[in-house]
Amino acid sequence: MLLFERTMLRQLFASQNYAERVAPYLKDEYFPTAECAVVFGAYQKFFDQYHTLPSFAVIRLALDNVSDMSESQAKQAATIIDELEKTAPQDETQHEYLVTETEKFCQERALYIALRRSVTMLDNPKENPHAIPDILKEALAVSFDTHVGHDFFGDAASRYDFYHRAESRIPFDLDVFNSMTKNGIPAKSLNVVLAGTNVGKSLFLVHMAAACARMSKNVLYITLEMAEERIAERIDANLMDIPMDDVVGLSRDRYLQKLESIRQTSTGRLLIKEYPTAAAHAGHFRALLHELKLKQNFTPDILFIDYLSICSSARLKLSGAVNSYLYNKSIAEELRGLAVEMKIPIFTAAQFNRDGSSSTDPGLDKISESFAIAQTADFIFAMTTSEELEKNNQIQVYVLKNRYAKRQSYQKFILGIDTSRMKLYDTGGTVQPTAAPPEEPRAFVQARKGGGRTRQPESVRSEEHMSELQSH
């Protein structure tokens, strides 16, 4: 804690940008050590008045005029200023990381102080304990978010420019998907492939990740189901265009030669990170993204999470008090929030329930455990198979939700599939419309609103018509 306190103070003296971002939210009471609190108090007075960085000499003069400071505290404060002056400031490339960590520091200290105050109030009969919820609420609301909203008339020019600016998208290497998404997936979006066990969820994610790598995009692939090496093996097969069994059979020199040939055609990086099943959530992924930026100067253009159904929630614990609808809704919302915060698209997968695995015309109701995923995601499609399709090396795709299309409709089409090479192919088949599933039973609506605490029946339907959901 002491090290970070001093890091913050040194950066406050060195960086105007950092100071403007964090100084309005810092309080001297947040500093655990009294001498650091005193130094920041003097700093804050100067910064608030003059809106510029004070010199160390100015702060020394200001501290000389502090009357309620003991001689011991004055000596300690002077020592800290001497140390700060001799210490080099953090590189500006670490600016965002320090701002994020400072926000966490403020949040933790605010909550700690609020809890201590609450305990004191409970122990003191003269205090009003009914004020405790407001104290805690204020502490939990600490945030560095300075955006106060969109000024409709004042921001008209920038809004017009936004309307006419070409949106940056990550394209598919499959024409049929590009045609229905206006040429790819935009940033700040959550995209979900829905399939049963061993039907092709991971295959699609691997195929898409490899395609993005070929397009020189920076790719981060998070796996919660398979080892990093197994995912890498599948990507090897895709990029080298050889069966997975043949990847293992290559000589070391030949293997490295093939990879080097691929590397020369792509300027992007592809990183794979493994987490234990159900042991990681959006908070872990956020920390990983910050760490990669700080330590490896790596910022992904797209994030793959394999897969949503085996993530955990940062906000909720799955227990008898939390039904699976709310739990999965929380996971989906946290992942989409991460996509918005990091300004990247996220592609993930969800598991079919038993009805969906055998269905010839699946709907959003077939998402395992929770329809809530469908309410949060921007783009959802299902993949199904049959004996006949497998015989022809094909897979059936149903587009169930599409916020990127002007015309909201359900569509289905056939893709070619090569499981040995972990690849999908356009077949040139016609995209066919398909009927929307019916409404969900009233019993499910009641359970979703909190009337039930158990897992939802697998056959439940959506709260709204599918067409209504697509337009959200």
Which CATH number fits the domain that encloses residue 88?
A: 1.10.860.10
Structure confidence at residue 253 as a pLDDT band (50, 70, 90)? very high
Comparing CA positions, the residue from 63, 42, 43 lying closest to residue 53 is 43
Residue-level pLDDT at 451 = 42
377 and 267: one domain? yes
197 and 107: one domain? no
CATH no. for residue 181?
A: 3.40.50.300
Q: Is residue 43 part of a domain?
A: yes
Residue 470 has pLDDT above 60, yes or no: no
Domain end residue (candidates: 101, 123, 140): 140
Residue 374 domain boundaries: 169-470
Residue 152 burial by Cβ neighbours in a 10 Å radius (0-12, 13-18, 19+): exposed
310 and 420: one domain? yes
46 and 180: one domain? no
For the chain, percent of residues with pLDDT exceeding 90: 39
Q: Are 395 and 369 in contact (CB under 8 A)?
A: no
pLDDT digits (tens, 9 = 90+) for 410-428: 588 999 999 999 999 998 7
181 and 118: one domain? no
Q: Is residue 164 part of a domain?
A: no
Q: Is residue 245 part of a domain?
A: yes
Spatial separation of the C-alpha atoms in residues 94 and 31, rounded to whole Å: 22
Residue-level pLDDT at 410 = 58
Residue-level pLDDT at 204 = 96
pLDDT digits (tens, 9 = 90+) for 37-96: 999 999 999 998 888 899 999 999 988 887 777 888 888 889 999 988 888 777 766 778
Spatial separation of the C-alpha atoms in residues 17 and 223, rounded to whole Å: 37
Q: Is residue 236 part of a domain?
A: yes
Report the number of distinct structural domains present in the chain: 2
Q: The pTM is what?
A: 0.63
136 and 176: one domain? no
Comparing CA positions, the residue from 267, 262, 253 lying closest to residue 235 is 262
Tell me the Cα Rg of the chain: 27
260 and 129: one domain? no
Q: Is residue 150 part of a domain?
A: no
74 and 127: one domain? yes
Q: Is residue 22 part of a domain?
A: yes
Token readout for 100 is 């994020």
- Averaged pLDDT, 277-305: 90
123 and 269: one domain? no
Residue 448 burial by Cβ neighbours in a 10 Å radius (0-12, 13-18, 19+): buried
82 and 189: one domain? no
Collapsing DSSP to helix, strand or coil, 302 comes out as strand
- Averaged pLDDT, 183-209: 92
304 and 374: one domain? yes
Comparing CA positions, the residue from 101, 113, 12 lying closest to residue 55 is 12
Q: Is residue 381 part of a domain?
A: yes
Q: Is residue 134 part of a domain?
A: yes
User: Could you say which DSSP state residue 431 is in?
Assistant: P
Q: Are 210 and 425 in contact (CB under 8 A)?
A: no
- Averaged pLDDT, 231-255: 94
130 and 198: one domain? no
